[in-house]
């Protein structure tokens, strides 16, 4: 059952080949057997999962099933889910049980999905390797000594190991697409505002966006159909007519114009990654697409811009964790100020503290204009570069990450080297555009390579069509890590 995609699983459920309870139990058994090697899932509640599956079976029996009814999924632990622990990878929230559902969670539950559990993540989504979590690092199922990518590494690793049919993630600077690439699965970051941020614990509010992780573009489309939608509780949520993101999956690619930014194909890219991406572009040409060189001249500034803006927003968002209202509180302190200081010193990890300090600095008197305001101006230039590129092409393609998965611990002492893992993803968040990563091959060590596609605003259906047609012609997305194939 774990080899089936969402669409085929839904057909099998409708045909009564197996029940939602049997399907859920199958995945719970796989989690019990395999998760200890990965540390991808940190919270389970088997009784609740099976109860939800029984409800799904009742809907199926009454003929009221939808495309996601009875489908077992995982949620990144950044999403509040009523009655579930929501720790956000941090000691600060280690024992916090959410009293309400995030909008994305409630929409997926309304669509009939079954929550299997919550996935591990970089603390407060700050990281590119899933090594900053209070609950320990996640391991890559293709090689357990390597990272799965981050911050949605738990979701990506779990889907890659087929511990669930799909999972939710969040993408602030590449945190869906980069782990999808390093773990050999598919991940979609929608246009900013398409999926509500309500109930999603904030890191950088102008950049954070929820999206799905799955094994195919078709499954991403089915997940996004449920996740997307206006939410009046989120001031950045976009009020748009509902659309079917699977509507164009079978559309031929003849006439598709692929933009290849010269900035994406530099000496910084691992040769095997470059070769796999070039082979994928060749496959697209065989499918009827053409390619044109485009330029994103300000893309090299995306990392410094991001590491001014994101920490600035984080320093504000994380001010609420003070030990007074909820979350961790230091055991011993002398007075109120000492309690604040000890709580935050003990409750936050090193990477979170680093970003809070950077953010507080760039927002401080005398530095706001020099750093924060200038970064916002460059952010606009980056968005303008994309607008000009899309005058020449329909979709932009290149590597998702400059390398395949690196070894655990190999970059933890060098934050700048770690930040460079997101060099091809961050600009998409700064511009608010949709981006998608799909598997496109392997390096000599057997580690996955990700192909990134970037679309214009609200071009999710087109991106999914482009990915689906490639996946009809290739089988990279069907590969399962050998140790988790049984």
**pLDDT for res 358:** 96
The reply to whether 302 belongs to the active site is no
- Angstrom distance (rounded) from CA 22 to CA 17: 10
Among 463, 374, 425, 371, smallest CA distance to 178 is for 425
Residue 197 belongs to a domain = yes
**pTM for the complete prediction?**
0.97
Sorted by sequence, the CB contacts under 8 Å of residue 33 that are 6+ apart come out as none
If pLDDT is split at 50, 70 and 90, which confidence band does 420 have? confident
**Range(s) of the domain holding residue 237:** 6-251+478-484
Sorted by sequence, the CB contacts under 8 Å of residue 189 that are 6+ apart come out as 171, 174, 176, 177, 209, 211, 428, 429, 434, 435, 436
The average pLDDT across 207-229 equals 98
Residue 119 belongs to a domain = yes
Number of domains comprising the chain: 1
The average pLDDT across 117-137 equals 97
The CATH code of the domain that includes 209 is: 3.90.1300.10
Output phi, psi for 336, to 5 deg. -60, -45
**pLDDT for res 1:** 78
The first and second tokens of residue 25, run together, are 């139990």
Q: Is the dihedral of CA 8, 13, 17, 19 positive or negative?
A: positive
pLDDT tops 90 at residue 408: yes
If pLDDT is split at 50, 70 and 90, which confidence band does 413 have? confident
- Name which residue leads in pLDDT, 420 or 377: 377
Residue 43 belongs to a domain = yes
Residue 72 belongs to a domain = yes
Residue 456 belongs to a domain = no
The reply to whether 175 belongs to the active site is yes
If pLDDT is split at 50, 70 and 90, which confidence band does 415 have? confident
pLDDT tops 90 at residue 161: yes
**In this predicted model, what pLDDT tens digit does every residue of 316-368 receive, in sequence order?**
999 999 999 889 999 999 999 999 999 999 999 999 999 999 999 999 988 99
Catalytic residue among 151, 183, 401, 453: 151
The average pLDDT across 114-130 equals 97
- Angstrom distance (rounded) from CA 30 to CA 353: 36
Among 247, 253, 169, smallest CA distance to 212 is for 169
**pLDDT for res 451:** 98
Percent of residues in the chain assigned helix, strand, coil, to nearest 5: 45, 15, 45
Sorted by sequence, the CB contacts under 8 Å of residue 469 that are 6+ apart come out as 249, 251, 252, 253, 287
For 308, counting Cβ atoms within 10 Å of its Cβ (0-12 exposed, 13-18 middle, 19+ buried), the class is buried
Give me the chain's average pLDDT, please.
97
Residue 142 belongs to a domain = yes
The average pLDDT across 269-278 equals 97
The reply to whether 453 belongs to the active site is no
**pLDDT for res 416:** 83
Whether residue 345 contacts residue 360, with contact meaning beta carbons closer than 8 Å, is answered with no
**pLDDT for res 366:** 87
**pLDDT for res 196:** 98
pLDDT tops 90 at residue 97: yes
Catalytic residue among 175, 183, 216, 421: 175
Helix (H, G, I), strand (E, B) or coil at 175: coil
Q: In which element (H, E) is residue 121 found?
A: none
Catalytic residue among 49, 76, 106, 453: 76
- Angstrom distance (rounded) from CA 139 to CA 150: 11
Residue 225 belongs to a domain = yes
For 53, counting Cβ atoms within 10 Å of its Cβ (0-12 exposed, 13-18 middle, 19+ buried), the class is buried
Residue 333 belongs to a domain = no
What distance, in Å, lies between the first and last C-alpha atoms of the chain? 11
If pLDDT is split at 50, 70 and 90, which confidence band does 170 have? very high
């Amino acid at each position: 059952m774990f080899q089936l995609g969402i669409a085929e699983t839904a057909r099998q459920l409708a045909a009564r080949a197996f029940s939602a309870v049997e399907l859920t139990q199958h995945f719970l058994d796989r989690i019990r057997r395999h998760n200890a090697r990965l540390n991808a899932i940190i919270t389970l509640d088997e009784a609740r999962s099976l109860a939800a599956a029984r409800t799904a079976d009742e809907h199926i029996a009454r003929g009221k099933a939808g495309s996601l009814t009875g489908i077992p999924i995982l949620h990144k632990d950044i999403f509040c889910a009523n009655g579930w622990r929501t720790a956000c990878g941090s000691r600060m929230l280690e024992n916090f049980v959410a009293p309400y559902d995030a909008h994305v969670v409630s929409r997926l539950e309304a669509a009939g999905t079954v929550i299997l559990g919550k996935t591990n993540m970089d603390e407060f989504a700050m990281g590119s390797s899933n090594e900053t979590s209070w609950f320990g690092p996640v391991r890559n199922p293709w090689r357990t000594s390597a990272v799965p990518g981050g911050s949605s590494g738990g979701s990506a690793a779990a889907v890659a190991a087929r511990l669930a049919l799909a999972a939710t993630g969040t993408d602030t600077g590449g945190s869906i697409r980069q782990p999808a690439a390093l773990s050999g699965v598919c991940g979609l970051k929608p246009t900013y505002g398409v999926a509500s941020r309500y109930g999603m614990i904030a890191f950088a509010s102008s950049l954070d966006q929820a999206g799905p992780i799955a094994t195919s573009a078709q499954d991403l489309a089915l997940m996004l159909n449920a996740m997307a939608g206006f939410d009046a509780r989120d001031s950045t949520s976009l009020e748009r007519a509902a659309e079917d993101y699977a509507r164009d999956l079978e559309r031929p690619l003849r006439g598709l114009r692929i933009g290849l930014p010269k900035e994406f194909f530099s000496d910084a890219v691992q040769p095997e990654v470059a070769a796999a991406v070039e082979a994928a572009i060749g496959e697209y040409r065989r499918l009827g697409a053409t390619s044109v060189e485009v330029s994103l001249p300000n893309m090299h500034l995306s990392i410094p811009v991001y590491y001014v803006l994101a920490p600035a927003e984080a320093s504000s968002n994380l001010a609420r964790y003070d030990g007074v209202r909820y979350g961790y509180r230091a055991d011993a302190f002398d007075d109120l100020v000492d309690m604040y200081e000890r709580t935050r010193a003990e409750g936050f990890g090193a990477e979170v503290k680093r970003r809070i300090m950077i953010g507080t600095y760039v927002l401080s008197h005398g530095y706001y204009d020099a750093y924060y305001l200038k970064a916002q101006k460059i952010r606009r230039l980056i968005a303008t570069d994309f607008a000009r590129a899309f005058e020449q092409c329909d979709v932009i393609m290149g590597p998702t990450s400059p390398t395949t998965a690196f070894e655990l611990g190999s970059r933890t002492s060098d934050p700048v080297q770690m930040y460079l893992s997101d060099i091809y993803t961050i600009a998409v968040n700064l511009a608010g555009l949709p981006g998608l990563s799909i598997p496109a091959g392997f390096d000599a060590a057997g580690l996955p390579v990700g192909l990134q596609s970037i679309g214009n605003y609200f071009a999710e259906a087109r991106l999914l069509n482009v990915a689906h047609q490639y996946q009809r012609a290739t089988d990279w997305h069907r590969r399962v890590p050998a140790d988790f194939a049984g």
